[in-house]
Amino acid sequence: MSAARALLALLGMGAAVLMTGCSAANEPASAGPTHAASAPVKLWPNRPPATEPSVESGAERPIPVPGMPKVASGDIRTVDPVAVVKAELAAAPKVVTGPDALDENTAVKAAACAAGAAGHKGCPIRTVEYYDLTGDGKADAIIGIDMVDGFLSLRCYTLSGGVLTRILATVAKPMSVQVAGGDLVVQEPTPSEGYEQRTVYAWDPKERAMAIQSDNYRRSTTPPGSGGGTGGGASASPRKRS
């Protein structure tokens, strides 16, 4: 055998050892069931996209909505989103920072909404969207509240033992809001021309809430002239995403 052939044989034996060196004990453990792959679904597609960036971001913790009765049916679709927002307003009145933040004008309008008026003219509460965010096969609720200056209060809810529980609350200036594979994806403009911020919220089974899975900047995918440009710097606001 030539020296070259001998060297190739030794390299081949080394590769085989590396490929077979991992024992069953070192194999990656399963992370459990995952959402079936699906195309992103855009929420509230008829709403105009923001053209200026929002402010800070953060995570959420599960919070039972105060004043809301247990949902005996186990179907979150039976819960009126107007009642949910009003219950949170009553529990945290005149709050202008944090996850419960609503400007005074929006709070007044939301408090005046009639039962079942979400999505109707004059009510800042958008039509509720239902998607499985927790991976338990049941619908969860996504509520959006339009505020001043193009801000959106974005809140998600699930049922935990029949108790309506908020699993995400954030304030954004979205170009779009989507659900993809059970994740909530929020795209926002940035001060940098041609770039956008993409924040992905995913269910965290340990925290029992939606947590930021990724938060990054990338080149904008919004076509020029569609209202999704970057505009100037961040709009001045005391509200803080949380």
pTM above 0.75, yes or no: no
pLDDT for 239 equals 33
Distance between CA atoms of residues 179 and 129, nearest Å: 10
Residue ranges covered by each domain of the chain? 36-44+55-219
Distance between CA atoms of residues 30 and 17, nearest Å: 25
Q: State the DSSP code for 125.
A: B
Q: Do β-strands 41-43 and 163-172 pair in parallel, antiparallel, or remain unpaired?
A: unpaired
pLDDT digit string (tens) for 39-90?
678 787 776 665 554 444 444 689 999 999 999 999 999 999 999 999 999 9
By the 8 A CB rule, do 169 and 159 touch?
A: no
Distance between CA atoms of residues 7 and 237, nearest Å: 68
pLDDT level of residue 18 (50, 70, 90 thresholds)? very low
pLDDT digit string (tens) for 86-116?
999 999 888 878 888 899 999 999 999 999 9
pLDDT digit string (tens) for 108-165?
999 999 999 999 999 999 999 999 999 999 999 999 999 999 999 999 999 999 999 9
pLDDT level of residue 23 (50, 70, 90 thresholds)? very low
Higher pLDDT, 223 or 103: 103
pLDDT level of residue 222 (50, 70, 90 thresholds)? low
Residue 232 reports pLDDT greater than 60: no
Give Cα 145 to chain centroid, integer Å. 14
Residue 208 reports pLDDT greater than 70: yes
Question: What share of the chain in percent tops pLDDT 70?
Answer: 69
Distance between CA atoms of residues 61 and 13, nearest Å: 52
End-to-end CA distance of the chain: 69
pLDDT for 226 equals 40
